[in-house]
Amino acid sequence: MKFLVTPDFNEKLASLATEGLVAIAGIASYIKNTSRENLIRDRSEIEVRTLSSEILVLKNGNYSVFASFDGGSDEEYLILLDIVEEAQSVSSRSGFIATKDPRKNPTLDPNRNMTIDPRRNMTIDPRRNMTIDPNRNMTIDPRRNMTIDPRRNMTIDPNRNMTIDPRRNMTIDPNRNMTIDPRRNRYYGGPYLYDVNLNQEGFVVRANEEISLIFDSSARFTSYLVSNGKEGKNIFDVSGKWIGFVIPAKDDVLLKFDTSGQWMGIIV
């Protein structure tokens, strides 16, 4: 069976060590020498399973390839979309591998970069800048603006909108989609949540343009972010209770606050 590869696939392939290249070559050879009908039925060292009606996962050792069928009935082929390497167990001290790591990059660390530190920059401190404080700006306060309150707007409530609920939509559930699970995909990269001391607390998965989901380090769904219609986002627990908000400090960094405006950490 013929196959094509995406630019993302090629980029991941170029970064693999020899072990990974051998594993992917085995998957490519298997695809080339089989047909669609036999792709799932055949028993071989390549494990094949369906993730959805459109996505296949082909696994060889610690490496998996995500692929989808394309083309017409005359010449159907596979598009190789992505590569995932199962990560080794993660130390609680070091946390997951982050593409943008504030512990290594001082420009992303509020403790070392005063321009993104709300304690030293009043423009990003909601206690000194009322325009970014939901308690004093009703347009970004979910208690007074029903359009950004999931308890009154079902389109932004995962409990009533299954497309943004990881419990019912497996494509946004890291427990069932390993491409978005940093425990199993070392290339995930983030964004991650950190406390003020830069201890990793969890990771973020984008559900759509307005909603992002927050998981703890064990991939348990704990809360979610909803756009406030401006530049920031409000944080809700899984029941829809407002528990905090985030504001952008720079393109790569969001500052996290509790409902009183106390700085609690960053998302990057």
Residues 247-259: tens digit of each pLDDT: 999 988 999 999 9
pLDDT tens digits for 163-221?
Answer: 999 999 999 999 989 889 998 888 888 899 999 999 999 999 999 999 999 999 999 99
Reply yes or no on whether the pLDDT at 26 is more than 90.
yes
Question: The whole model's pTM is what?
Answer: 0.72
Dist CA 236 CA 267 (whole Å): 15
Burial level of 122, CB count in 10 A (0-12/13-18/19+)?
exposed
Nearest to 69 by CA among 42, 89, 48: 48
Neighbouring C-alpha atoms within 13 Å toward the C-beta of 195: 5
At 94, is the pLDDT very low, low, confident or very high (cuts 50, 70, 90)? low
Dist CA 246 CA 242 (whole Å): 12
Concatenated DSSP letters of 111-143: TT-GGG-TTT-GGG-TTT-GGG-TTT-GGG-TT
3-class state of residue 66 by DSSP: strand
Q: Which tops the pLDDT comparison, 54 or 108?
A: 108
Name which of 58-72, 76-90, 181-195, 247-261 the model is least confident about.
76-90
Query: Domain map of the chain by residue range?
Result: 3-85, 106-267
Dist CA 58 CA 212 (whole Å): 28
Tokens of 134: 């939901």
pLDDT tens digits for 146-164?
Answer: 999 999 999 999 999 999 9
Nearest to 97 by CA among 7, 10, 15: 15
Tell me the CA distances in angstroms from 119 to 59, 108, 124, 126, 157, one per residue in order. 48, 15, 9, 10, 33
3-class state of residue 229 by DSSP: coil
Contacts for 51-55: CB closer than 8 Å, 24+ residues apart: 51/170, 51/171, 51/177, 52/170, 52/171, 55/81
At 76, is the pLDDT very low, low, confident or very high (cuts 50, 70, 90)? confident
Name which of 26-30, 33-37, 77-81, 127-131 the model is least confident about.
33-37
State which CATH number among 3.30.565.10, 3.40.50.300, 3.40.50.360, 3.30.2310.20 fits the domain covering 3-85.
Answer: 3.30.2310.20
Reply yes or no on whether the pLDDT at 66 is more than 70.
yes
Q: Which tops the pLDDT comparison, 127 or 95?
A: 127
Tokens of 140: 């970004």
C-beta neighbour count of 100 within 10 angstroms? 15
At 99, is the pLDDT very low, low, confident or very high (cuts 50, 70, 90)? confident
Reply yes or no on whether the pLDDT at 88 is more than 60.
no
Helix (H) or strand (E) holding 28: helix 18-32
At 42, is the pLDDT very low, low, confident or very high (cuts 50, 70, 90)? low
